[in-house]
Amino acid sequence: MGPHSGPQTGRVAIGSPLHPREAQEGKKMMKNLVKQSLYKNMEMITRRANAADDPSKLKSLVLSTSSKSLPY
Protein backbone atom coordinates (compact mmCIF):
# COMPACT_ATOMS: atom_id res chain seq x y z
CA MET A 1 0.00 0.00 0.00
CA GLY A 2 1.25 3.46 -0.82
CA PRO A 3 1.66 6.21 1.77
CA HIS A 4 -1.43 8.21 2.70
CA SER A 5 -2.71 10.17 5.66
CA GLY A 6 -5.57 7.79 6.58
CA PRO A 7 -5.45 4.66 8.71
CA GLN A 8 -3.52 1.74 7.25
CA THR A 9 -5.55 -1.40 6.58
CA GLY A 10 -4.83 -4.70 4.91
CA ARG A 11 -5.86 -5.67 1.39
CA VAL A 12 -9.25 -6.98 2.53
CA ALA A 13 -11.89 -4.28 2.20
CA ILE A 14 -13.65 -3.32 5.39
CA GLY A 15 -17.02 -5.04 5.56
CA SER A 16 -16.23 -7.65 2.91
CA PRO A 17 -17.27 -11.18 3.87
CA LEU A 18 -14.51 -13.63 4.70
CA HIS A 19 -16.65 -16.72 4.16
CA PRO A 20 -18.61 -17.68 1.02
CA ARG A 21 -21.73 -18.24 3.13
CA GLU A 22 -21.62 -14.64 4.37
CA ALA A 23 -21.23 -13.46 0.78
CA GLN A 24 -24.27 -15.49 -0.28
CA GLU A 25 -26.32 -14.12 2.63
CA GLY A 26 -25.32 -10.58 1.66
CA LYS A 27 -26.32 -11.17 -1.96
CA LYS A 28 -29.65 -12.63 -0.87
CA MET A 29 -30.29 -9.67 1.43
CA MET A 30 -29.50 -7.17 -1.34
CA LYS A 31 -31.71 -9.06 -3.79
CA ASN A 32 -34.61 -8.93 -1.32
CA LEU A 33 -33.99 -5.22 -0.70
CA VAL A 34 -34.06 -4.50 -4.44
CA LYS A 35 -37.27 -6.53 -4.85
CA GLN A 36 -38.88 -4.66 -1.97
CA SER A 37 -37.87 -1.31 -3.43
CA LEU A 38 -39.11 -2.27 -6.90
CA TYR A 39 -42.45 -3.47 -5.50
CA LYS A 40 -42.93 -0.25 -3.53
CA ASN A 41 -42.04 1.87 -6.58
CA MET A 42 -44.48 -0.07 -8.76
CA GLU A 43 -47.18 0.36 -6.13
CA MET A 44 -46.61 4.13 -6.05
CA ILE A 45 -46.69 4.35 -9.86
CA THR A 46 -49.99 2.46 -9.87
CA ARG A 47 -51.45 4.76 -7.20
CA ARG A 48 -50.43 7.85 -9.15
CA ALA A 49 -51.85 6.42 -12.37
CA ASN A 50 -55.16 5.64 -10.65
CA ALA A 51 -55.25 9.10 -9.06
CA ALA A 52 -54.83 10.87 -12.42
CA ASP A 53 -58.61 11.26 -12.69
CA ASP A 54 -58.74 13.36 -9.50
CA PRO A 55 -56.16 16.21 -9.58
CA SER A 56 -56.48 17.03 -5.87
CA LYS A 57 -55.90 13.40 -4.91
CA LEU A 58 -52.88 13.20 -7.21
CA LYS A 59 -51.39 16.41 -5.80
CA SER A 60 -51.72 15.20 -2.20
CA LEU A 61 -50.28 11.82 -3.15
CA VAL A 62 -47.25 13.37 -4.84
CA LEU A 63 -46.64 15.79 -1.96
CA SER A 64 -46.91 13.06 0.67
CA THR A 65 -44.24 10.84 -0.89
CA SER A 66 -40.51 11.39 -0.96
CA SER A 67 -37.92 10.33 -3.50
CA LYS A 68 -36.89 7.40 -1.32
CA SER A 69 -38.67 4.15 -1.96
CA LEU A 70 -37.87 2.57 1.39
CA PRO A 71 -38.68 3.95 4.86
CA TYR A 72 -35.08 3.64 6.12
Structural domain of 50: 30-64
Cβ density class 23-53: b for 16+ within 10 Å, e for less: eeeeeeeeeeeeeeeeeeeeeeeeeeeebee
Q: Is residue 17 situated within a structural domain?
A: no
Helices (H) and strands (E) in the chain — how many of each? Answer: 2, 0
The number of domains in the chain is 1
What count of Cα atoms within 13 Å lies in the side-chain half-sphere of residue 2?
Answer: 1
* pLDDT value for 42: 92
pLDDT digit string (tens) for the chain, length 72 residues: 556 666 665 555 556 667 888 888 888 999 999 999 999 999 888 887 787 777 676 666 666 665 555 554
In a domain, 50, yes or no: yes
Distance of CA 57 to the CA centre of its chain: 27
Q: One-letter amino acid identity for 53?
A: D
